[in-house]
Amino acid sequence: MRRGSQVIRLVTTNRHKFVEASEILSHYGVEAEWVRYKPQEIQSDSLLEVVIWKGFDAKKVVPPPFVVEDTGLFIDALGGFPGVYSSYVLSTLGIRGVLKALEGVEDRGARFVSYGLLYLGDNMFKVFRAVVEGRIAMSPRGEGGFGYDPIFIPQGGVKTFGEMSLEEKSRYSHRAGLFNKIGRYLTSLSTGETVINMLVRGGDDGEDAY
Ligand code: IMP
């Protein structure tokens, strides 16, 4: 990517993810272009590994600069399940199945963890991570959002993501956290801040990296 360039391709088949991410990036003067490609996913118990391999796969077909993302819902009482299997669990058990597994369980603690890989071309990439802590609702609430949104209540809130507008969800969400980091990083590239840090400190200390 030419430093200061302001268009980023978001590689996902999920319209909700694209809308959420592009809204955040717009605050940084970055325009998001939607690339509806589903990168191949490896089987791994690490979201980080999954997102890196997604990036390698996307690199074969999508011109840089682009971002691929991978997210999981980690539920404390289930030992972090569904985690990296979130997509599979949603399409098999569904959110009803997850609620059933939590029947009678008092500890409802959970978190969304998101990784994003930004590929800038010339084998330059950077990985970002964001987390939102919260809890699992007793029953699904709200028509908004997607995936696990109707059962996830972020810390500090009372509504589920499913009951929130896009703007409200973005006040809390892992995806907003992730794309704010990416937006700040892109801004720092275009202002030369990252380059200066690298020269002064002998390397980008990756404060914003995951
Ligand atoms: P993915 O592999 O990153 O697409 O996400 C794994 C699973 O988590 C999928 O079933 C998604 O629907 C779900 N998911 C990802 N992000 C969110 C979100 O922001 N809200 C609710 N569910 C999500």
2 falls within a domain: no
Which residue has tokens 């390397």?
203
**Domain tally, the chain:** 1
pLDDT band at 1 (very low <50, low <70, confident <90, very high): very low
53 inside domain: yes
Angle in degrees, CA 143, 35, 149, rounded to 5: 20
CA torsion, ordered 155, 70, 87, 36, to nearest 10 deg: 120
pLDDT tens digits for range 175-197:
999 999 999 999 998 888 777 77
Residue range(s) defining the domain that contains residue 50: 7-201
Determine, yes or no, domain membership for 13.
yes
Which burial class, exposed, middle or buried, applies to 208 when counting CB atoms under 10 A from its CB (0-12, 13-18, 19+)? middle
The predicted pLDDT at position 130 comes to 98
Nearest to 130 by CA among 109, 153, 113, 108: 113
Is 1 inside a domain boundary? no
Is there a domain that residue 208 lies in? no
Residue 205 has pLDDT above 50, yes or no: no
The per-residue pLDDT for 158 is: 96
> How many angstroms separate the alpha carbon of residue 41 from the centre of ligand 1?
14
Whether this model's pTM surpasses 0.85: yes
In a domain, 110, yes or no: yes
Q: Is 122 inside any structural domain?
A: yes
Q: How would you write 66-88 as a 3-class SS string?
A: EEEEEEEEEEHHHCCCEECCHHH
Give pLDDT tens digits for 128-142.
999 999 999 999 999
Kindly report the CATH number assigned to the domain that includes residue 177: 3.90.950.10
* pLDDT value of residue 128: 98
What is the pLDDT averaged over residues 150-173? Answer: 97
Q: How far apart are CA 75 and CA 101, in angstroms?
A: 11
Indicate whether 207 belongs to any domain.
no
Q: What is the pLDDT of residue 3?
A: 45
What's the mean per-residue pLDDT of the chain? 92
Question: Which ligand 1 atom minimizes the distance to the CA of 146?
Answer: 21
Whether the per-residue pLDDT at 163 is higher than 50: the answer is yes
Whole-number Å distance, alpha carbon 72 to ligand 1 midpoint, is 6
| Cβ proximity of 20 and 149 under 8 Å | no
Residue 196: both structure tokens together: 């200066």
Cβ–ligand 1 distance for 81 under 6 Å, the answer: no
Question: Strands 109-121 and 66-75: what pairing?
Answer: antiparallel
Residue ID of nearest Cα to ligand 1 atom 23: 147
Strands 7-11 and 31-35: parallel
Which is the catalytic residue, given 70, 76, 107, 122? 70
Render pLDDT for 38-93 as a digit per residue (tens, 0 to 9): 999 999 999 999 999 999 999 999 999 999 999 999 999 999 999 999 999 999 99
Query: How many Å apart are CA 210 and CA 131, to the nearest integer?
Result: 10
